């Protein structure tokens, strides 16, 4: 069975299970976090179709990410997380899914939902592992899921091509699944701008996401010369969510790296957004 070794364990997040457990609890309890470590509500209504969540090092973006996973915990138990992330490395196909085996983290193995991964192949999504080998945007979401759920399978999709046509095709392909899914769009917002500029630009882009308007998202990204890295994954999640009868989105938390590091001169923006039926 093909196993993917972690690429950023010990860098983006703690490298041992014990330290990682403590780090995740710290994120939940942080002053920018939701305040407490959640318990999974096994009777949750499963209204959440998708979340948008950051993927920087936990020290910087973890407290913001914790808001989305806190909401997920109360929403019930999904069987599979389809995790969409931008391809930062440039390796592999335009849209690459890892179709079988397991991914490892310090918490242990996460199994791929092979049947669903295979069903997604075709129009734009291709089976490819090279895109994933050194990519962090999907990997950093796994410990959060493992911390919440005893077992959850994943379908990891890395997007090098992020144009709107590709994003729509990916979203529609995912929406055709009748599995008990959560879609995770992994993205940071503005990169390396002053805090006030990041907040202004990101506010505009987040407004388009909350309106579930992928076209407006692209228009604003272009007009504002936006440096959001995962606009394609977010657009795919919006398209899939609408096809899956999602009706509303809400911003749970926005902050920048300046809020955690104290350096407001060149920040990265982070947002947690939830999309519900």
Longest dimension (CA), the chain: 48
Q: Which domains does the chain have, with CATH numbers?
A: 10-276 (3.40.830.10)
What was the pLDDT predicted at 162? 97
Confidence of residue 1 (pLDDT cuts 50, 70, 90): low
What was the pLDDT predicted at 178? 80
Distance CA 33, CA 12 (A): 18
More confident residue, 84 or 1: 84
Q: What pTM, to 2 d.p., does this model score?
A: 0.98
Q: Output the 3-class SS for 131-180.
A: CCCCCCCCHHHHHHHHHHCCCCEEEEEEECCCCHHHHHHHHHHHHCCCCC
Confidence of residue 150 (pLDDT cuts 50, 70, 90): confident
What was the pLDDT predicted at 41? 97
Q: Which residues contact 77 (CB under 8 A, 6 or more apart)?
A: 40, 42, 44, 46, 149, 152
What's the mean pLDDT in 131-144? 97
What's the mean pLDDT in 141-165? 97
Any idea which residue has 């305040």 for tokens? 35
Which backbone phi and psi does 76 adopt, to 5 degrees?
110, -160
CA atoms in the 13 A half-sphere facing the CB of 76: 14
Q: Which residues contact 31 (CB under 8 A, 6 or more apart)?
A: 63
- With contact defined as beta carbons under 8 Å apart, do 50 and 175 qualify? no
């Amino acid at each position: 069975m093909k196993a993917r070794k972690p690429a950023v364990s010990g860098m983006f997040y703690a490298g041992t299970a014990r330290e990682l457990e403590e780090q995740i609890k710290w994120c939940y309890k942080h002053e920018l976090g939701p305040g407490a470590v959640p318990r999974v509500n096994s009777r949750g209504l499963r209204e959440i179709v998708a979340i948008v969540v950051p993927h920087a090092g936990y020290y910087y973006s973890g407290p913001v990410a914790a808001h989305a996973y806190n909401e997920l915990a109360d929403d019930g138990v999904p069987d599979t997380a389809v995790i969409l992330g931008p391809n930062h490395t440039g390796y592999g196909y335009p849209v690459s899914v890892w179709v079988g085996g397991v991914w490892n983290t310090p918490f242990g193995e996460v199994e791929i939902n092979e049947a669903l991964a295979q069903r997604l192949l075709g129009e734009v999504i291709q089976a490819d592992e090279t895109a994933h080998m050194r990519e962090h945007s999907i990997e950093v979401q796994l410990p959060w899921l493992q911390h919440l759920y005893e077992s959850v399978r994943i379908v990891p999709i890395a997007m090098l091509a992020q144009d709107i046509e590709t994003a729509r095709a990916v979203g529609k392909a995912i929406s055709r699944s009748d599995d008990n899914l959560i879609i995770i769009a992994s993205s940071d917002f503005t990169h390396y701008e002053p805090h006030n500029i990041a907040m202004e630009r990101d506010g505009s882009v987040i407004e388009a996401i909350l309106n579930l308007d992928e076209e407006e998202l692209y228009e604003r990204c272009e007009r504002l010369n936006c440096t959001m890295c995962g606009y394609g994954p977010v657009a795919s999640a919006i398209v899939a969510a609408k096809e899956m009868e999602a009706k509303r989105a809400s911003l749970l938390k926005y902050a920048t790296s300046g809020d955690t590091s104290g350096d407001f001169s060149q920040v990265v923006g982070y947002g947690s957004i939830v999309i519900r039926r």
